[in-house]
Structure 1
Amino acid sequence: MSDNNFLNGKSYEPLRRLLSDSKISELQTQIRVNKDIEDINWDEKAIKLSELEKSSWQPKLLIAVDGDYSKSIIQNGFPGAEIGYITVSTVVILLEKVRELEKQQFIDPKKFRETEEPTSIDSLFVGCNVVLEGEDSAKSSMRKILFDELKKFRIFNNTETLLDTYEYLLQERATNGRATKCPHDNCEGDYEFNVGEYHCKACNGKLYSTDALRLHELLNSSGTSGEMYGQIKETFKKLQLIHLLRSFEQQPKYFPLLRDIAFFVEGTLAVFSTASWLAKPIRAELERLNSRVNGEFGSNLIVLGIERSGSFVNHFSTIDTMKNGSEHNFPNQSAFLLTNEYIKKHIVFNDTPGYVYLEDTSFGRKIFYKTKAGHKVVASIATYNNYQSNPETAFPAQFPRLIDILQLLDKLVSNRYENSVTPLASAHSEAAIPLNLGKSIFDKIAREIRANSTNND
C-alpha cells in the first residue's frame, strides 16, 4: 500500500487528520529545544584518564549479576492463566586464571571457559488465574512463592540466606516505613512489619515478611503480569548484590577478598516501583560494609551498575556524534561525571526547584566513559557517604576508586553486547540460558582464590 493509499484509507482517518492538522506545527513552536548541548567542548569538559593518578591495582575476581524473565500461558481450565519464569544469574570470573592463560600463545577455549563460574536463582511465579493448592487466589499464591524462593538461596553453606539478607534490610523499613494495607482482600487492617511468617491481627490471614515489597500489587488479575515479573527480577538482582557482600563478610577467611573483587550489576544502581524503599537500607548497608573494608584494608569497595539501554545511553551516543555524523566528538579514555543539574537540563528534563533525580531510589552516581577502543559506557558507581552522594557537584574524589574503575573498563568492555562489559555479557547469557541452576560454586571459588593468595604471599 502506498503512502497516499495509507493516508486515504478510511481505517486510518484519525491518523490522516492528525498528520495533516496544523496543530502539530503550532505545538512544535511551543516545545522547548535543547540547543545548549551543541556548545559543549567535550575535550575540555571531560576528565582524561591521563589526568588521574595511576593505580597498579589488579582485581582477582569479577562478580556480575544479571537477570531475565519470560512468561507463558498454561492450560488449567481458566482463561489467560499465566506463569512467569525468572532467572537471576551470578557469574564469577577468575582473573588470575585469565592472566595465566593470556601468557600462552594459544588459549585452549575449554580452559578459558573454566575461568568463569556461573550460578543462577531460577524461579517460577504465578500470574493471572493460577492458584496453588491451599491458597485462595493467584495473589496469595504469588506471595507465598516469593517468600519461599528467598528462603532457598544462600552463597556459602554456613552463611545467611537471601531471605535473611532481605529481612536485615527490612529492619529500617519496619521502623521508618509508612503503614500499608493488609494484602488480604476485604481486610482494612494495616500491614504490620515483621520477619518470617505470621498472621494479620485484623483478619488472621497469613502474612510474610516479603509482603513489605508489595510486589504482589503488580499482579494483573485479568491479564499478563509482565511488569510484576520484571520488578521481581530487578529486586532479586539488588538483593543478590547485598547478599554477596554480606556473605563474604560473614566468612572471616574470605572477607579479605572484598578488596580484590569488582562487583557488576546490569542496569542503574537504583530500586524502583513498589520495592523502591529498599534503596535507603541498601545505601546504609553499603556504607557500613565499605567502612569496615576500608578500615581493615585501606580500600573502598568497587560496585558498578552498567546500563545497556535507555535515556542516558541514547544521550551519550548523541553527544559523541558530530554534526557530520561521525562518532568522535567525545574523546577516548575520557570520563564525564554527571551532576544533578546536567541530568535535569539535558537528559531527564525537570526545572522544578529542589528536584533531585532519583534522590530516594538510587545508591550510586552516574558517569559516561569512552574507552581506549572507543566504546561508550554508562556506569553507576556506588557511593558510601554524604559527600560522595551529593549530586550538586562532581569531583573525582566523589566517585570511589574512579581510576581503578576506568582502567578496568578499558580492559573489560565487551564486543558481544553493545554498551556492556565482559562479566555482564557472561551473566546475561547465563540468565537467558541458565545451564547451572542452583549450582553452589562460591565455596570452591573462595577456597581456590585464598589458596592462590597464600601461595603468592
Structure 2
Amino acid sequence: MPYEGEFANYRPLRRLVESARVNKLLGSYKIRSTSEQLESLESLSPIKFQPGDWTPNYLIAIDGSHAEVDIKNGFPGAEASYVTVASVILDVAKIKQLDQQRPVNPKEFRTTEKAESIDCALPGCNIITEGETSAKASLRKSIFEVFSSVRMSFEGESLLDTYEALLKYKPTTERKQECPYEDCLREYKRGNGKYTCPCELSRSLYSTDALRIHERMNPAGTNGAIFAEIMQVWERVWVVHILRTLEAKNWLSSLRRLAIVLDGPLAVFGQPAWISQAICQELSRINTLAKKVTGGKDILLIGVEKTGTFVQHFEDIDRQEDGEYGSFPCQSVALLTDDYIKKNIIFSDSQRPYGDATYFGRKFFYKTKSGARLVATLPFLTDNYKDLKRAEPSQYPRLADAVGLLDQLISSRFPNALAPLVSANSEAAIPLSLGNKVLESLAKELITNEGT
C-alpha cells in the first residue's frame, strides 16, 4: 500500500506484464464460450409453468442494512456499525382494492404499509463499552442485549428466546469452541442467557457467543464482514420469531393468507452458518403444525436474490447472441440440481451437495410474465426437498403459488425487482453519503454526552 500522497509508477506494471508466471497463470484460465452458455440453457430445460392464482391478504417483507462509521474517541481506527433490519407488512387485499379505484389517494395508499425495525449501534475496532475490557467483549455483550430487547409481541417471547430455541438444535459433535476470553484455556460451555465462565475469573458468557461471530473480529481494522453476518442472522431469526409468535398465539391458521419474502437466499453464511440447519428443523416443525390448521397448506416463505453469481448466470443464459435478452421463456421456471450448479455456476468437485452446511432452502429461476428474471429460494420443509440430485416441482413447496405471487409483486421501478422488497429496502437502507455523516454526528454527540 502506498503512503498518503504517494503515486504508483509503471515499473511494477511492466514486471507483471512481462512475468512468465503471470502469463502462464492467466493463460490457463478457462473461458466459457457463448455456445457453452447456450448448452447450459439447454441442459437446464426451463419448464413452462402455470402460475397459481393464490393471493395473500398480507405479506411480510424483510430486509436489512448496515453502515460502518469512524468514531473519534482518541483511539486510531475506532469504528461502530449501525445495523437495521426492517419488516414491512403489506395489506395486499387493500392494495388490490385500491388498484381498482385509480387514481388512488397517496395518503390512503400509505395506509397499506406498516413498518417495524430492529435498530442498533454495535461496537467495532477500538470501541469499548462501559464495564468491558475489550472491543470483542463489548461486541459480544451488545449482540446479546439486542437479542434480549427485541420482540414481536409485548407479552410474547423475545428474539433471544427464539434464538435459544434454535440453539437447542446445534450439534454437539462439531469442532470444539474455545472460550471467548483469550487468556482462558477452557472450552466454551454453551448455556442460555447470560452466565459465567467456570474459570476462577468468572467472567460473563452469553448464549449468543455460540454464533461465533466475535471470533472473526479484526482488532486493528474495519469489521464490515462480521456486521453483515450479524445482520443476516437477525433477518433470518426474525422470520422464525414471527412464526413462533403466531404459534404461541394460536394464529398459525393465518398462514393460509400470509406470505413472507426475505431479501437474499434462504441461507446463513460465515461463522454462524450452523443456524441454517437449526432454522430448517424449526421451520419443518412449525410447518407440520400449520398444515393441520390451514387445510394442508405449507408455509409460503420466499428468499429473493438481487445480486450474486446465480443472478449473473441467469442473465447470461437469457442473453441471445445479438446481446438482447429473450432466450429464457417468460413464465418459465428452471429447477436447479447440484450437478448443474457445480458445472455451470459455482464450480466444485466436492461430494457434498451445494450449500449443504449453509442453506435451508433450494433455488430456482423464474422469468415472470413481464420478463423480469428472479432467483428465488423455497424452504426445505421435508427431507425430500433436500435431495439435490434431482429437481422436480414436488420438491419446491407451493411452487405454483410462489411464482404466481412473484408475477403479482414485480415492480416497474427497478429491473427484476419485487415491490415488497423495494418497500423493505427503503425502510432499511442507509444512504452511504448522507447517512455516514448523520450517523457519525449522532455517535459523536452520544459519546460526548456519556462522558459528561
TM above 0.5, yes or no, is: yes
Quickly say closer, same or farther: Cα 1:183–1:49, change in 2 above 3 A: same
SS of the residue 1:118 aligns to = strand
Query: Residue 52 of structure 2 contacts residue 400 of structure 2 at CA under 8 Å; is this kept in 1?
Result: yes
Shift of residue 81, structure 1, vs aligned partner? 1.2
Partners of 2:223 and 2:52 lie apart in 1 by 47
Equivalent residue pairs, number: 421
What is the match of residue 93 of structure 1? 90
What is the match of residue 127 of structure 1? 124
Query: Residue 124 of structure 2 contacts residue 223 of structure 2 at CA under 8 Å; is this kept in 1?
Result: yes
Give the residue type in structure 1 aligned to 2:215.
Answer: E
What is the match of residue 177 of structure 2? 180
Partners of 1:225 and 1:99 lie apart in 2 by 43
What is the match of residue 341 of structure 1? 339
Deviation string, structure 1 residues 79-120 (Cα, Å, up to 9, x no partner): 111111000001110111111101103111111111011111
Shift of residue 277, structure 1, vs aligned partner? 0.7
Quickly say closer, same or farther: Cα 1:188–1:368, change in 2 above 3 A: same
- Tell me whether 410-419 or 22-31 shows the greater mean CA deviation: 22-31
TM-score for the superposition, normalised by structure 2: 0.89
Partners of 1:10 and 1:127 lie apart in 2 by 31
TM-score for the superposition, normalised by structure 1: 0.88
What is the match of residue 153 of structure 2? 156
Partners of 1:19 and 1:63 lie apart in 2 by 53
Q: Does 1:217 align with 2:220?
A: no
Query: Residue 179 of structure 1 contacts residue 192 of structure 1 at CA under 8 Å; is this kept in 2?
Result: no
Query: Residue 53 of structure 2 contacts residue 404 of structure 2 at CA under 8 Å; is this kept in 1?
Result: no
Which runs of structure 2 are paired with 1:170-209 in the superposition (5 Å)?
170-173=167-170, 175-202=172-199, 203-209=201-207
What is the match of residue 49 of structure 2? 49
Shift of residue 260, structure 1, vs aligned partner? 1.3
Query: Residue 60 of structure 1 contacts residue 96 of structure 1 at CA under 8 Å; is this kept in 2?
Result: yes
Which runs of structure 2 are paired with 1:131-142 in the superposition (5 Å)?
131-142=128-139
- Tell me whether 272-281 or 166-175 shows the greater mean CA deviation: 166-175
Give the residue type in structure 2 aligned to 1:126.
Answer: P
Q: Does 1:166 align with 2:163?
A: yes
Shift of residue 44, structure 1, vs aligned partner? 8.4
Query: Residue 332 of structure 2 contacts residue 368 of structure 2 at CA under 8 Å; is this kept in 1?
Result: yes
RMSD across aligned positions (CA): 1.9
Query: Residue 307 of structure 1 contacts residue 419 of structure 1 at CA under 8 Å; is this kept in 2?
Result: no
Deviation string, structure 1 residues 184-230 (Cα, Å, up to 9, x no partner): 12111011011011111124111010111111122211111111111
What is the match of residue 114 of structure 1? 111
Shift of residue 356, structure 1, vs aligned partner? 1.5
Partners of 1:117 and 1:422 lie apart in 2 by 14
Partners of 1:43 and 1:370 lie apart in 2 by 17
Give the residue type in structure 1 aligned to 2:191.
Answer: N
Give the residue type in structure 2 aligned to 1:46.
Answer: P
Shift of residue 22, structure 1, vs aligned partner? 5.6
What is the match of residue 412 of structure 1? 409
* Of 327, 331, 335, the match for 1:329: 327
* Of 297, 314, 317, the match for 2:315: 317
SS of the residue 1:293 aligns to = helix
SS of the residue 1:124 aligns to = strand
Partners of 1:332 and 1:316 lie apart in 2 by 13
What is the match of residue 233 of structure 1? 231
Give the residue type in structure 1 aligned to 2:337.
Answer: T
Partners of 1:334 and 1:93 lie apart in 2 by 27
Quickly say closer, same or farther: Cα 1:74–1:43, change in 2 above 3 A: closer
Quickly say closer, same or farther: Cα 1:134–1:23, change in 2 above 3 A: closer
Shift of residue 249, structure 1, vs aligned partner? 1.2
Deviation string, structure 1 residues 407-446 (Cα, Å, up to 9, x no partner): 1111112233433311111111100259xxxxxxxxxxxx
Quickly say closer, same or farther: Cα 1:384–1:18, change in 2 above 3 A: same
Quickly say closer, same or farther: Cα 1:182–1:111, change in 2 above 3 A: same
Deviation string, structure 1 residues 249-302 (Cα, Å, up to 9, x no partner): 1111x3211121111111111111110110111110011111111122210011
Quickly say closer, same or farther: Cα 1:207–1:10, change in 2 above 3 A: closer
Give the residue type in structure 1 aligned to 2:195.
Answer: Y
Which runs of structure 2 are paired with 1:243-262 in the superposition (5 Å)?
243-252=241-250, 254-262=251-259
Deviation string, structure 1 residues 350-407 (Cα, Å, up to 9, x no partner): 123x132111110001011111111100001112111111111100010010011111
Query: Residue 43 of structure 1 contacts residue 331 of structure 1 at CA under 8 Å; is this kept in 2?
Result: no
Query: Residue 378 of structure 1 contacts residue 419 of structure 1 at CA under 8 Å; is this kept in 2?
Result: no
SS of the residue 1:388 aligns to = helix
Q: Which runs of 5+ in 2 are unaligned?
A: 1-6, 432-452
Shift of residue 55, structure 1, vs aligned partner? 3.4
Quickly say closer, same or farther: Cα 1:373–1:359, change in 2 above 3 A: same
Give the residue type in structure 1 aligned to 2:129.
Answer: L
Query: Residue 371 of structure 1 contacts residue 409 of structure 1 at CA under 8 Å; is this kept in 2?
Result: yes
What is the match of residue 39 of structure 1? 39
Give the residue type in structure 1 aligned to 2:427.
Answer: E
SS of the residue 1:357 aligns to = coil
Give the residue type in structure 2 aligned to 1:211.
Answer: D
**Percent identity between the two aligned chains:** 40
Partners of 1:26 and 1:79 lie apart in 2 by 42
Query: Residue 44 of structure 2 contacts residue 336 of structure 2 at CA under 8 Å; is this kept in 1?
Result: no
SS of the residue 1:11 aligns to = coil
SS of the residue 2:426 aligns to = helix
